[in-house]
Amino acid sequence: SARDRIKVVCRIRPENKIEKEGNYRRCVEFTDTSIGVECQPESKVSDMIGRHDFTFDRIFGPDSQQVEVFEEVAAPVVKGVLDGFNGTIFAYGQTGSGKSFSMEGVKNHPELKGIIPRMFDYLFECIAQADPDIEFQIKCSYLEIYLEKIQ
């Protein structure tokens, strides 16, 4: 079923200061489920020149909010975990692409909390509302791999 399959989403981060101040041409066009990347002849990735299209289950644009990403991506995983299934969220991307922001967020800014703190809040909120006779055992692993080393 659709609930059982792996879902692949893409989050496009906002432009950083250098990108905003530089005279860079935007090379990404996207909809809710597809993205087109146009590599120009001056690109350092010469074998990728031209347009390349990719399809995802969902694409979050640069204006997407942390809560929106959580509700669409992570909340269903938590619901599955509470139903007895294992769940995994895997963030992948180059340095500076926004993985830590999406997963962890910004401390002391509730609206900028990432997936991980929101998942714990939601998980324990659901447990608090559950039948008190149900016993829960929760195990969680969180790790970062950087330059092929576990951090």
Q: How many residues belong to the chain?
A: 151
119 and 72 inside one domain: yes
pLDDT of residue 151: 83
CA distances from 23 to 43, 46, 54 (A): 14, 20, 26
pLDDT of residue 45: 61
pLDDT of residue 2: 53
49 and 75 inside one domain: no
- Among the candidates 62, 93, 114, a domain finishes at 62
**In the chain, which stretches have pLDDT less than 50?**
1
115 and 78 inside one domain: yes
90 and 31 inside one domain: no
Feature table: binding site for ATP: 93-100
Domain that holds residue 28: 1-62
CA distances from 133 to 85, 107, 126, 129, 130 (A): 20, 34, 14, 11, 8
pLDDT of residue 100: 94
Feature table: binding site: 93-100
Q: Report how many domains make up the chain.
A: 2
pLDDT of residue 77: 93
pTM equals 0.85
pLDDT of residue 33: 92
49 and 82 inside one domain: no
35 and 77 inside one domain: no
- Among the candidates 62, 88, 105, a domain finishes at 62
